[in-house]
Amino acid sequence: MFERYTEKARRVIFFARYEASQFGSPYIETEHLLLGLLREDKALANRFLRSHAAIESIRKQIEAHTTVREKVSTSVDLPLSHECKRVLAYGAEEAERLSHKHIGTEHLLLGLLREEKSFAAEILHERGLRLSAVREEIARSASEKTSANRPKESSLLAEFSRDLTQAAVDGMLDPLIGRDSELDRVVQILCRRTKNNPVLIGEPGVGKTAIVEGLAQRIADGDVPSFLSDKRILALDLSLIVAGTKYRGQFEERLKTIMKELMENQNAIIFIDELHTLVGAGSAEGSLDAANILKPALSRGEIQCIGATTPAEYRKSIEKDRSLERRFQAVKVPPPSEGDAIRILFGIKERYEKFHAVAYTDEAIEGAVYTSTRFIPDRFLPDKAIDLIDEAGARVKLRQTTLPTEVADIQKRIKFIV
């Protein structure tokens, strides 16, 4: 009988049976069903009842009206009265009327209101509950719930950014080895009230992005001040925002929409690699570039941003725009020493060993640092040393996956015979 009933509606029936037994009633009456609705605190029907009346006053009125007999054992399966059966039937009809698959507590409340000559309906009417008004409110609540569960419109911020904090949680980021002083400085700047936007300045390949990924890993591990514990680092791809903006004003519209999302979500910190590309990005004749669009929000502290750029590009683009420079705090990232680079490679070698299915000896790691320093002077550690071990691993993997000539010939013969 109760297959279509929600869990809460079933509990209401159980509570109604309990109330009937406590009053010593031979049947479950409508007033017992009403008391059952009052007991189910988190039910929608209970919310309507509480908004119109004090719960205790309803109970007292029922107790005053009912003759209390000897209590009936709760193990006795009390039958429903004729009125109560009609209430359940009305509840099923109301669920059908509202196109609801299941019968909930709100439908039982509507059923009580439809059984107008019952004592429960009399109590509800005295407190101003009317069938049509309650039905409309239930329909509106169901509509709001459906709207809340509907998938949200696509977020431009999610489309044009990558959540580094989530990537850290998923174990997709390489560990940060060393760089404690630079990372601590970034955290300190982020905790400032104003000018809380750090910009990492260092040569290509010294590990600027790795520092930001290290911060994301710290946030994921909970190893940051409480002020940053619920923050997310979102790597914003400026080139993707510019791409596809054929008409004038499209870029500004996209960027302003992203800024609005960031202002609404104060837990987000954007990371812009190659920060100097802000200057002039998306600008056309008579329009603003990305830097000028972001400046007001950065100055007011409505958006937090971490940037990364090279010294040459910083001098060329950022320093020339004094108002943009003032909104950022510079953090110098020098190349690591050979000893630090060796420690970095030892820290990440496991990832490369797993990817290439090889094992790197200690001599190979040290040799990668010393050899790259000697023969690749125009690049910087640790990037050039990492490139060497990656290249060596790829070469060994290629040899391992390439079959010897004899084996390849035998396989060809087998295929020909089959």
DSSP for 206-243, please give it: SSHHHHHHHHHHHHHHT-S-GGGTT-EEEEE-HHHHHT
What string of DSSP letters covers 356-368? HT----HHHHHHH
Please determine, for residue 332, whether its predicted confidence score (pLDDT) is greater than 90.
yes
Asked if residue 14 lies in contact with residue 100, where contact means CB atoms within 8 angstroms, the answer is: no
What the block records as the tokens of 284 is 């056309």
Please determine, for residue 327, whether its predicted confidence score (pLDDT) is greater than 80.
yes
pLDDT-derived band at 172, boundaries 50, 70, 90: confident
pLDDT tens figures, 337-367: 998 899 999 988 888 888 888 889 989 999 9
Residue 271 host element (H or E): strand 268-273
- The rounded distance, in Å, linking the Cα atoms of 64 and 59 is 9
How crowded is residue 306: how many other Cβ atoms within 10 Å of its Cβ? 26
Please name each of the domains of the chain with its CATH number. 7-149 (1.10.1780.10), 157-332 (3.40.50.300), 338-401 (1.10.8.60)
Bridge-based pairing of strands 161-163 and 232-236 is antiparallel
Q: What is the pLDDT of residue 148?
A: 44
Express as a percent the part of the chain with pLDDT over 90: 10
pLDDT-derived band at 151, boundaries 50, 70, 90: very low
Question: Backbone phi, then psi, for 103, in 5-degree steps?
Answer: -95, 120
How crowded is residue 336: how many other Cβ atoms within 10 Å of its Cβ? 21
Reported pTM: 0.58
What string of DSSP letters covers 71-119? PPPTTS-PPBPHHHHHHHHHHHHHHHHTT-SSB-HHHHHHHHHHSTTSH
Residue 125 host element (H or E): helix 119-126
Q: For residue 77, what are the contacts with CB-CB under 8 A and spacing of at least 6?
A: 17
Asked if residue 269 lies in contact with residue 305, where contact means CB atoms within 8 angstroms, the answer is: yes
Handedness of CA 202, 203, 206, 210 (dihedral sign): positive
What the block records as the tokens of 51 is 């908004």
Asked if residue 84 lies in contact with residue 28, where contact means CB atoms within 8 angstroms, the answer is: yes
Residue 297 host element (H or E): helix 290-300
HSE, CB side, 13 Å, CA atoms: give it for residue 323. 11
According to DSSP, residue 404 is labeled: P
Angle, CA 217 vertex, CA 214 and CA 222 arms, to 5°: 125
Task: Please name the residue that has the structure tokens 């890993």.
Answer: 217
| 189 to 48, 154, 331: CA distances (angstroms) | 50, 32, 9
Report the DSSP beta bridge partners of residue 268.
232
How confident is the model over 246-274, as a mean pLDDT? 80
| Mean of all residue pLDDT scores within the chain | 81
Pick from 230, 329, 231: nearest CA to 275:
329
HSE, CB side, 13 Å, CA atoms: give it for residue 31. 21
Among 152-156, 326-330, 337-341, 374-378, the minimum mean pLDDT is found in 152-156
Task: Please name the residue that has the structure tokens 């590009």.
Answer: 313
Residue 283, classed as helix, strand or coil, is: coil
pLDDT tens figures, 84-97: 889 889 888 888 88
